[in-house]
Amino acid sequence: MKRPPKVPDIESELAGADLGDERLRRRLARIASMVATAPADSFPQLAGTDGELEGVYRFLSNERVTPEKILDPHIGAAHTRAAGRDVLVLHDTTAFTFRQGSRVGLGHLHRTSRQGKSGFYGHFSFATTADGTRRPVGVVGLRTFVRTGDPLTKAVTGHRRFKRANKESARWPEAAIQTSRASPNSIHVMDREADSYDTYRLLKEAGVRFVIRARTGWERKGESGGVRGTFPALAKKTPIRLKRTGELSRRAPGKVDVLHKAHPSRKERTADLLVYATPLQMNCPHHYARGESAYRGPLVVNVVYVEEPNPPPGQEPVSWMLVTNEPIETQGQVETVVDHYRRAMDNRGVLQSSQDRVRLREAPTRELRRAQERARRVQRHRVAPAAAQDRVSRYAFGACGSCRYRSSVTAAPISEAAGPSARPRS
Task: Give the 3-state DSSP-derived string for 89-133, with helices as H, strands as E and coil as C.
Answer: EEEEEEEEEECCCCCCCCEECCCCCCCCCEEEEEEEEEEEECCCC
Residue 291 has pLDDT above 80, yes or no: no
In whole numbers, what is the pLDDT of the chain averaged over residues?
76
Q: What is the DSSP string of 165-201?
A: SS-GGGHHHHHHHHHHHH-TTEEEEE-GGG--HHHHH
In CATH, what class is 1-65? Answer: mainly alpha
Tell me the mean pLDDT in the region 212-231.
84
What is the spatial distance between Cα 47 and Cα 366, in angstroms, rounded to a whole number? 13
Q: What is the pLDDT of residue 410?
A: 33
What pLDDT sits at residue 364? 42
Helix, coil or strand: residue 44: helix
Instruction: Report how far apart the first and last C-alpha atoms of the chain are (Å, whole number).
Output: 29
Q: Measure the CA–CA gap between 46 and 406, rounded to whole angstroms.
A: 19
Average pLDDT of the segment spanning 370-381:
60
- For residue range 33-62, what is the model confidence (pLDDT) as tens digits? 888 888 888 888 998 889 999 999 999 899
Question: Using CB atoms within 10 A of its CB, is residue 285 exposed (0-12), middle (13-18) or buried (19+)?
Answer: middle
Predicted confidence (pLDDT) per residue in 233-265, tens digit: 999 999 999 998 888 888 777 665 555 456 677
- CA–CA gap between residue 78 and residue 93 (Å, rounded): 20
**Is the model's pLDDT at 82 over the cut of 60?**
yes
Please report which confidence band the pLDDT of residue 165 belongs to, taking 50, 70 and 90 as the band edges: low
Residue-level pLDDT at 346: 72
Give the pLDDT band (50/70/90) at residue 9.
confident
Q: What is the mean pLDDT of residues 91-107?
A: 80
Q: What is the mean pLDDT of residues 79-93?
A: 92
pLDDT of residue 385: 42
The architecture CATH gives domain 68-236+274-352: Alpha-Beta Complex (3.90)
> Please, which pLDDT band fits residue 296 given cuts at 50, 70 and 90?
low
Delimiting residues of CATH 3.90.350.10 domain(s) in the chain: 68-236+274-352
Residue 397 phi, psi (nearest 5)? -125, 0
Helix (H), strand (E) at residue 235? helix 231-236
